[in-house]
Structure 1
Amino acid sequence: MITIKDLSKVFQTKDREVKAVDGLSLTINKGEIYGVIGYSGAGKSTFIRLLNRLEDPTEGSIHVGDQDLTGLSKNKLRIARQDIGMIFQHFNLLWSRTVYDNIAFPLEIAGVPKEERSRRVKELIDLVGLSGRGNSYPSQLSGGQKQRVGIARALANNPKVLLCDEATSALDPETTDSILDLLVDINEKLGLTIVLITHEMHVIRKICHQVAVMEQGRIVEKGDVLDVFLHPEQPVTKKFVDQVMGDQEKEHSLKLIKDKYQSGKIVRLHFVGESTNQALISEVSRKFVLDVNILHGKITQTQKGAYGTMFVQFEGDNEEVARAIEYIRSTSVEVEVNPDA
């Protein structure tokens, strides 16, 4: 659906060149929710603006379907952009227009007849959960409602792709979750391809199928969200995964137990999918003569299934501990022995 090859963007400042996007290549399949995550300055906002040519690339190509956006004239680009909707961090609504008129605005520009325009706007108001608010102004809406208007406006021309530029970072956690649920609903109902950039791993974890991690203008890691959660390779990816899995609590727990007991083996258990439902610790306690101390644990849900991690300490005879670890390895649970705190 979207193919990006060797994409670069260089900005010229007074005294130097800044390469905001550096040789980026990516393939996004039709109907996917694809997350791009990075800290401030990673280049992700520039990247998403390149996708609909709000910024012109210095090098590289962007294909949406069979169309090369980087080779289009201004007139053809204007038409092509109707297939690409975009929602923004700060909503970018027209404050002097009602909800209805904000959503109708791109249809007016596209020359859609009034009757058809009215039908489409009412349809979109219902879709995003704003029934009865068509005559309200943005100043009368909550942050979440404003973003719903932004989403409805972005969907007005029936785009094939929806770009989300930090769409939830200005919202509180509860409102963020409701907007993410709406995006999943839209993805499923309309088969829409969604590209979402964020600095929050919670957003990636909750709704994305695939993720790319950006750092200094480059993609340093990418793949299926669950795989990235299970086996983060780059330091920046590990930091993002720790955002969701509560690593600070884990470190505190490990330090306390090591300081107190100074013995035993500490292991990290990774539970994936159905293995998160196993009563594994109870089984180990029954089968083997050892003490099991649970230090820290958490289970979270991704679009591809549940993922859990647990830190435990085994106290007992070395051979018995080794047998217990081998038993756990014989299940679908992954084991890492004596992980660094």
Structure 2
Amino acid sequence: MIQIKNLKKIYQTKKQKVQAVDDVSLTINQGEIFGVIGYSGAGKSTFIRLINRLEEPTSGSIEIHEKEITKMSANELRLKRQKIGMIFQHFNLLWSRTVYDNIAFPLEIAGVAKSEIKEKVMELIHLVGLSGKENNYPSQLSGGQKQRVGIARALANDPEVLLCDEATSALDPETTDDILDLLVSINQKLNLTIILITHEMHVIQKICHRVAVMENGKVVEEGDVLDVFVRPQSKTTKRFVQQLNPLEHQQDKLAEFINDRDDSEVIKLHFIGKNTKRALISEIAKKFDVEVNILQGSISPTQEGSYGTLFIELNGANDVLTKTIEYMKQAGVEVEVLKHA
């Protein structure tokens, strides 16, 4: 478990003080993938560099497995950093070294025997899907392959935590998905805690269990990814969620599809988890004397399950519409009436 309490980082410039991280407190559980998302300048990059003290905090505390990082001496910190892996946006590989030698580098620094290094490096090369590339140099690799080397290198000393600093921002969408799939596989195989910062909501949606949203150095929202996606609270979170499903947040555009009738209701439905597979529209069409006009909808997967949004128009007698809406609520679907009959 990682416990972060009242973490602050203030930079002093000639003209002013800049508070990059402002009183952040988080608990990150063992074995979870925890995402931190924010726009440029939100403080997320500074935050992740504070965790392994690449940046020194101004105040606050960071505990990893009940060991307080912020109180460690330089020598204690050097040893502890071997158990905190980190991967970077621009790979940070040694260009004069082969894939094998890049991965072996942290083991050499740690004083591991050559025979053990070879076994470990080949194991990691296989784990990240680079078998046959061990003698290649970074200049001979694609962006995705370079990041796989970075991941293998970060895993060399069997870390307790893996920090990912915008690890997919320099990659194309297809390669991004491949790297995210690899991180999920590593998380599951090694029960490795992963802290991932990004400005892409797709990344959070695809692999994270929980997420914190940062703005101006503060955490403005935190929770399970599924809850945050379905019920975003802060303006910043709503903007990120809108990136994935723009139409859901442009309800005024539904007007052109809606019948100008007095006996209609426009409903927004949220399906969560197993309910995304339920044939609810078919059920109500058979059970109630209503006409159903599907306006738009989508289903999105997350690590914690799928969620779906569906906009429908119901036409029928008022009492029947009331009963239909109540039936949908009892079915475990979140119902929001946007236009009353």
* TM-score normalized with structure 2 length: 0.96
Displacement after TM superposition at 1:192 (Å):
0.5
Q: How much has 1:227 moved relative to structure 2? A: 1.2
**Corresponding position of 1:174:** 174
Amino acid at match of 1:261: D
- Structure 2 CA distance for aligned equivalents of residues 171 and 293 of structure 1: 40
Query: Paired residue for 2:138?
Result: 138
Q: Could you report, residue by residue, the CA deviation over 1:245-279 in whole angstroms, capped at 9, with x for unpaired residues?
A: 33368547414225x63763211101011111111
Cα deviations by residue, 1:174-225 (Å, 9 ceiling, x for unpaired): 1111111100110111110000011111111111111111111011111111
Aligned residue for 2:147?
147
| Aligned equivalents of 2:248, 2:66: Cα separation in 1 | 46
Alignment correspondent of 2:25: 25
Match of 1:267?
267
What amino acid does structure 1 have at the position aligned with 2:206?
Answer: K
**Equivalent residue for 1:35?**
35
State the partner residue of 2:295.
295
Provide the residue aligned with 1:59 in structure 2: 59
Alignment partners' CA distance in 1, 2:97 and 2:252: 52
Secondary structure at 2:5's aligned position in 1?
Answer: strand
Q: 3-state SS of the aligned residue for 1:19?
A: strand
1:63, 1:69 within 8 Å by CA — same for their partners in 2?
yes
Contact 2:298–2:308 at 8 Å: present in 1 too? yes
- 2-side partners of 1:256 and 1:74: how far apart? 65
Do the aligned residues in 2 keep the contact of 1:103 with 1:156 (CA within 8 Å)?
Answer: yes
Identical aligned pairs, as a percentage? 64
Alpha-carbon distance in structure 2 between the residues aligned to 1:139 and 1:256: 53
Once the two structures are superposed, residues 13-39 of structure 1 have per-residue CA deviations (whole angstroms, 9 ceiling, x without a partner) of 221111000000000011111111111
Is 1:253–1:296's contact at 8 Å kept on the other side of the alignment?
no
Given the alignment of the two structures, is residue 238 of structure 1 paired with residue 238 of structure 2, yes or no? yes
Aligned-partner residue type, residue 72 of structure 1? M
- Structure 2 vs 1, CA of residues 284 and 204 (structure 1 numbering), >3 Å: closer, same or farther? same
Name the amino acid aligned to 2:260.
Y
Tell me how far apart the structure 1 counterparts of residues 174 and 249 of structure 2 sit (CA, whole Å): 23
Distance 1:250 1:280 in 2: 24
Q: Secondary structure at the match of 1:337?
A: strand
- Give the distance between the partners of 2:65 and 2:143, measured in 1 at CA: 34
Partner of 1:124: 124
1:304 alignment partner in structure 2: 304
**Residue identity opposite 1:294 in structure 2:** I
Normalising by the residue count of structure 1, what TM-score does the alignment of the two structures yield? 0.96
After superposition, give the CA deviation of every residue in 1:221-254 in whole Å (9 maximum; x if it has no partner). Answer: 1111111112111111111122223336854741
1:118-139 deviation line (CA, Å, top 9, x unaligned): 1111110000000000011111
Contact 2:265 2:315 in 1 (8 A): yes
Q: Is contact 2:89-2:165 (8 Å) kept? A: yes
2:209–2:225 CA contact under 8 A, matched in 1: yes
Q: Which residue of 2 aligns with 1:102?
A: 102
Could you report, residue by residue, the CA deviation over 1:96-135 in whole angstroms, capped at 9, with x for unpaired residues?
A: 1111111111111111111111111111000000000001
Change (3 A) 1:321 1:202: same
For 1:62-103, what per-residue CA distance to the aligned partner results, in whole angstroms no more than 9, with x for missing partners? 011121111111111100101100000111111111111111
Q: Does 1:69 align with 2:69?
A: yes
CA RMSD of aligned residues (A): 1.6
d(CA) in 2 for partners of 1:63 and 1:331?
A: 43
Q: In the alignment, does 2:278 pair up with 1:278?
A: yes
Q: CA deviation at 1:318?
A: 2.1
Q: Counterpart of 2:82 in 1: which secondary structure?
A: helix
Give the distance between the partners of 2:21 and 2:249, measured in 1 at CA: 35
Preserved CA contact (<8 Å) 1:253 1:295: no
Deviation beyond 6 Å, 4+ runs, structure 1: none
| Aligned residue number for residue 200 of structure 2 | 200
| Structure-1 separation of matches of 2:232 and 2:293 | 26
Question: How many residues are aligned here?
Answer: 339
* Structure 2 unmatched ranges of 5 or more: none
Partner of 1:162: 162
| Residues in 1 aligned to 2:89 and 2:261: alpha-carbon distance in whole angstroms | 49
Change (3 A) 1:60 1:262: farther
Instruction: Report the AA paired with residue 277 of structure 1.
Output: K
2:110 partner letter = A
Determine helix, strand or coil for the equivalent of 1:338: strand
Structure 1 CA distance, aligned partners of 2:25 and 2:140? 42
